[in-house]
Amino acid sequence: MSDNQTYDLFVIGGGINGCGIARDAAGRGFTVMLAEKDDLASGTSSSSTKLIHGGLRYLEHYEFRLVREALMEREVLWRMAPHIIWPMRFILPHQKGLRPAWLLRLGLFLYDHLGGRKLLPPTRVLDLRSDPAGGPLKPGFSKAFEYSDCWVNDARLVALNARDAADRGAEIRTRTKVVDARREDGSWTISIENCLTGQVQTVRARLLINAAGPWVDGVLRSAIGENDASNVRLVQGSHIVVRRKFEDERAYFFQNRDERIIFAIPYERDFTLIGTTDHDFGGEPDDTEISDGEIAYLCNAASEYFAEPVTRDDVVWTYSGVRPLFDDGASAAQEATRDYVLVEDGGAEEALLINIFGGKITTYRRLSESVLEKVEKRLGARKARWTAHAILPGGDFETGGFDRLLGDLMEQYAFLAKEHAYRLLRLYGTRAASILGDARRLEDLGTCFGSDLYAAEVDYLVENEWAVTADDIVWRRTKRGLQLSDEQIATLAAYLQTSKSEALKAV
């Protein structure tokens, strides 16, 4: 699109909501630009517990609409991206003195039946004295419930939505900050700053979407001039990653004495992910970091259940994010609604602004459809809804077909270790072949930066998925950061710097 043309939509924020909206809109024939001030998924969308779930505990807060919509999305999203989303079973031990067994059974009955479950297996009752799930737990737990939800690689879900949006014509600009947006002659004039060069450019759009997550009020105040915007309640949640605590491929759902819950989830083959905390956050969203108190809380909560305690020394990595919840006035952080709220701003004659508050990774596709309904009311409909049955890049295989795909890839690239082939397929699905190309041996994949991260994969991410820095690659597009040393990450950073300068020279 040339500089003086006007986009239909301008989206602020490259998290799951912004990228989901850009993809849906581009697929319906709207012209779209999306600006992300940092990397894709660098905000909340890479800091989640990584579950596509109805949210069992939201039933306690009577959030039936949200739970039903989220439950229904599980199988829709699994079909859409079976490489990065897959079913997971959760073990919920009954703990004497906490929620009674009849209440857990009732909640899980609703969970099984509210949301059109077709493929995911139903809840069952376990005897932890004989089931292997009881092995890692303290003696004394005898009964548990095992139920279904799905796992998602959250940061990749964002990158794949952005990739698909761009393939459908959207313009995705990362490292691009919206610094000003004002209404002029019936449309928006938006100033965007290239965060790498400092250059400022102006673009025009008929409609503006503020999907800045925890920064949504900040954007309203600093870029749009609503000085007293105060709509979101920032609620911090942190996770710890420890060396693998149990062999089972099922995850645990533990109730705590403070009525909260935590998950312990098999993670990146060698690790266990434990989280999350849930408390009000008063700082700037750019500065979220786990506190010592949160680490202690998570270690203690998990140690109530595991026979071998979780200690601070076990922690190999942590991450922390803030939920941008709509401020519904709830007294406790964990009671604030997890549902999304869309607020329109602008009369019939004015250019429209849609602000997005709250939401879950799980419901991003439905949120995008709701936004598009509002867009179409204003700009007119061009094409029908389409995302419920459309596949994300690399996900074009049967939901149950992963093992066959793995076998095929290992046959085609016999030099790949099984873990390497598995990792590539879990990240890139059928597009793994674009990374491997006509390689015949490992050396054909170029420099090895450590573990099984080769230049061929890094180059693919730079060329196709907007990766710029070493962090983009080792913490968001992949989680190789868990396996690489600081020195190896520095070598990767130097490689990226050199390729960037060569690319600039070639221009």
Q: Which residues bind ligand FAD (CB under 6 A)?
A: 12-18, 35-38, 42-45, 47-51, 53, 177-178, 211-215, 219, 223, 237, 276, 321-324, 359-362
Token pair 């999304």: residue = 340
Q: Shortest Cβ distance from residue 44 to ligand FAD (Å)?
A: 4
Q: Copy the structure tokens of residue 397.
A: 């295989």
Q: Shortest Cβ distance from residue 403 to ligand FAD (Å)?
A: 26
Question: Which lies closer to ligand FAD via its Cβ, residue 34 or residue 425?
Answer: 34
- The CA R_g of the chain, rounded to the nearest whole Å, is 23
Q: Shortest Cβ distance from residue 60 to ligand FAD (Å)?
A: 17
Question: Which lies closer to ligand FAD via its Cβ, residue 95 or residue 320?
Answer: 320
Question: Which lies closer to ligand FAD via its Cβ, residue 13 or residue 481?
Answer: 13
Q: Shortest Cβ distance from residue 176 to ligand FAD (Å)?
A: 6
Token pair 């890139």: residue = 428
Q: Copy the structure tokens of residue 285.
A: 């969203």
Question: Which lies closer to ligand FAD via its Cβ, residue 134 or residue 237?
Answer: 237
Q: Shortest Cβ distance from residue 266 to ligand FAD (Å)?
A: 15
> What residue number has its CB nearest to ligand FAD?
15
Q: Shortest Cβ distance from residue 68 to ligand FAD (Å)?
A: 14
Question: Which lies closer to ligand FAD via its Cβ, residue 209 or residue 375?
Answer: 209
332: left (phi over 0), alpha (psi -120 to 50) or beta: beta
Q: Shortest Cβ distance from residue 100 to ligand FAD (Å)?
A: 26
Residues 6+ apart with CB under 8 A from 1: 7, 31, 33, 171
Token pair 């949200």: residue = 66
Contact assessment for residue 90 and residue 122, using Cβ atoms and an 8 Å cutoff: no
Torsion, CA 221, CA 226, CA 227, CA 230, rounded to 10: -80
Question: Which lies closer to ligand FAD via its Cβ, residue 298 or residue 461?
Answer: 298
Written as one string, the DSSP assignment of 380-444 is ---S---GGGPPPTT--S-TT-HHHHHHHHHHHTTTS-HHHHHHHHHHHGGGHHHHHTT--SGGG
Q: How many CA atoms lie within 13 A of 326 on its CB side?
A: 15
Of 34, 73, 45, nearest to 366 by C-alpha is 73
Q: What is the Cα–Cα distance from 106 to 114, expressed in whole angstroms?
A: 12
Question: Which lies closer to ligand FAD via its Cβ, residue 174 or residue 451?
Answer: 174
Q: How many helical (H) and strand (E) elements, i.e. helices and strands, does the chain have?
A: 13, 20
Question: Which lies closer to ligand FAD via its Cβ, residue 153 or residue 362?
Answer: 362
Q: Shortest Cβ distance from residue 241 to ligand FAD (Å)?
A: 13
3-class SS of residue 70:
helix
